[in-house]
A and B are shown apart, each in its own frame.
Chain A
Amino acid sequence: MIEIRNLSHAEGRTPILHDITLSLPKGGVTAILGPNGAGKSTLLSLMARLRPLQAGSIAYDGMDIAATPTERLARKLAILRQDSTVGSRLTVRDLVGFGRFPHHRGRPGPADRAAVEAALGQFDLAPLAGRFTEELSGGQRQRALVAMAFVQATDYLLLDEPLSGLDMYYARMLMRLLRRLAEEHGRTVVVVLHEINYAAAHADRIVALKDGRVALEGPAAEVFASARLSPIFGMEIPVERWHGRPVALHYT
């Protein structure tokens, strides 16, 4: 379980998050939605200890991130950030291999190599394994980065807009994969999404932020409704049912 208590954060003098208290159950896919500037990325950065906490606390299964050595946290949670770049000139295989670092600390064994090869296969990366990351398209690099976070084999997986730059095929593939991670491997996935229909189709829970506060929270089946979503984005969002599933029609 992820427990966030009284989390506030300011960037200089601009407050970004106001007193957020939230608990996310273990297992399942949680989608974080919200308009631009709602504080989604900041929340995820704080949850992944990429920025120091200013006020409040965050704990994973009772493991407080401020009190737990970062080495141990790296085996508990993995994060994929928005537009993350890689400093080194690496092949895709090497990049994905770094995901195993928290487990082998520099000396990969056969199990680590096998995990990397399996992930390369699972993410359709095997044909690209020997290519350098700077030779890839944005979507291909994104897939490699997701694969890297995947082989880290953590209970919790945080992803900040992982679909940006992916075409429909890979966006759906990634969401299905996250779904499978949650269902078959019991992992807890927290994912920031812009396209709310992906949340409707794949998420168990939805958390919506607005102006640095939690504006909406609950099971996706309950809260995915026009009356709940429209005020958050400040626009009319009709939600229709199609084959029994909710679909937001916000394109026109």
Chain B
Amino acid sequence: MAHRGLAILAAALALSCLVYLVIGVRGNWGFVLALRAERLAALLLVAASVAVATQIFQTVSGNRILTPAIVGFDALYILIQSVLVLAIGGLAAAQLPEIGRFLGETAILALAAVALFAALLRGAAGDVQRMVLAGIVLGVMFRSLTAFVQRLIDPNEFAAVQIASFARFNRIEAGPLWIAMAVGAAALAGAWAMRHRLDVMALGRDHAISLGLDHRRMLMTALVLVALLTATATALVGPLAFFGLLVTSLAHLVLRDHRHAVLMPGAALIAGIVLIAGQTVFERALGLAATLGVVVEFLGGLVFLALLLGRGWR
């Protein structure tokens, strides 16, 4: 079933990618294209991961204001990394095999997320005020804890953590992080397989159970997927507080559809356009004078305020 909105978004994304790849290429085309293609792939995966994680989280929590980033999933991920550096030292942490370290941190994040959020979502899903309050408190708590742990770390080793704590689009290390990309791609496939059940989850808990969904298991699965996607995106570019909110709100606005088969790809495409086109402008036109992260967060923050003040509760 071809969807017109999705087709237009896909075309816009393809155009952004093309411009990103070929604009201002000098010298050895083969070398430049290979370099840019690798970074492009990483950006696309980050875009899709953040968008889909946000959409899933909003669906299972029954609100359109909170995102995994606002309730502190990525802060939790950085907290786990910081605790690791604190426990074994920055040098030792850096020497851990990349794959084992990423998988380990991701597994801990998934466990912690399920333990912390499953109870909250079961009790308060649908009760939007309570969710927003509890979610924001948790998010602030994770960020403060992270800041506290980072103060305990030796200043020399702090640099190892600090790089991970800010959004960075200009230096994406896609090479050594292929494992993150593999995990992210697998989680995206898992989310796609759940699309019909997510439509039913979006109706609310009682309807979902009545229609034969194992609500508890869906919640757990969704939280694990969100954790995997968040770990992928955070490992590749660092935390992005409002980016997910920005793109899912835009997807709802542009596509006006309740089906996750449309919403998830739509949000991912919009996220890709924002990241790729934005990065092109900042890298080529503005000569890295400003940071895309700041602009995206600023716009996302405005959307967050608009949703809070407006009628975007659901």
Contacts and interface: CB of A to CB of B under 8 A. Distances in A.
B197 interface: yes
Nearest to A85: B204
Nearest to A87: B204
A188 interface: no
Nearest to B210: A79
A72 B211 CA distance: 10
Interface string B81-98: 000000000000000000
Contacts of B284: none
B212 interface: yes
Contacts of A50: 205-206, 209-210
A135 interface: no
Interface of B: 62, 126, 195-197, 199-200, 202-207, 209-214, 256, 258, 314
Interface of A: 48-50, 69-75, 78-79, 81, 84-90, 94, 98-99, 101-102, 105-107, 149, 152
Contacts of A75: 212
Contact of B202 (A69, A74, A79, A87): A87
Cβ-closest 10 pairs across A and B: A106-B196, A74-B212, A88-B258, A102-B212, A71-B212, A87-B204, A88-B202, A101-B211, A79-B210, A87-B202
Contacts, number: 68
A107 B197 CA distance: 11
Given A94-B258, A106-B196, A88 B203 contact: yes
Chain A contact surface mostly? loop
Nearest to A72: B212
B124 to A, nearest CB: 14
A82 B210 CA distance: 14
Nearest to A90: B258
17 contacts: A50-B206, A70-B212, A70-B213, A74-B212, A75-B212, A84-B207, A86-B203, A86-B207, A87-B126, A87-B314, A88-B202, A89-B258, A98-B203, A101-B196, A106-B199, A149-B210, A152-B211
A84 B196 contact: no
A11 to B, nearest CB: 14
B204 to A, nearest CB: 4
Contacts of A86: 203-204, 207
Given A50-B206, A106-B199, 13 more contacts: A50-B210, A70-B209, A70-B212, A74-B212, A78-B210, A84-B204, A84-B206, A87-B62, A94-B258, A101-B212, A102-B211, A107-B196, A149-B210
A186 B68 CA distance: 47
Contacts of B126: 87
A173 to B, nearest CB: 23
Contacts of B197: 106
A49 B209 CA distance: 8
B66 to A, nearest CB: 14
B194 to A, nearest CB: 10
A79 B258 CA distance: 23
